Amino acid sequence: MPTPNLASKGYTITAPGREAVVILEQASPFRLALDLRDAHTTRWFNPLTGTQEHTRTVKAGINEMRPTAGWTGRIVLQMKVASQAGT
């Protein structure tokens, strides 16, 4: 479901308690406000090249997110509950 106010930029879609996706029209840093019970792992995805990179674990609160260095244009950040990250 679309979730406004989760990210300071872009569009956000969430499956509460399981997964969230942030779509950015232009790669740039942004803030992510999370109300989580479990830590989530993150993965950046470049839909133009198919390149992806696993980055870090995020927790509840405000997280400063920075896209992979050198990436430009539209990018996607996917977050999954850490225990489900391999699925």
Q: Which residue ranges make up each domain of the chain?
A: 11-84
* Mean pLDDT in residue range 61-86: 85
CA distances from 53 to 24, 45, 59, 78 (A): 16, 7, 19, 10
CA distances from 66 to 3, 33, 83 (A): 20, 14, 23
Q: How far apart are CA 62 and CA 53, in angstroms?
A: 21
What count of residues does the chain have? 87
Name the DSSP class of 7.
Answer: B
pLDDT value at 87 more than 60? no
pLDDT band at 33 (very low <50, low <70, confident <90, very high): confident
Q: What percent of the chain has pLDDT over 90?
A: 38
Structure tokens at 19: 């997964």
pTM, two decimals, is 0.82
CA-closest candidate to residue 60, choices 35, 83, 85:
35
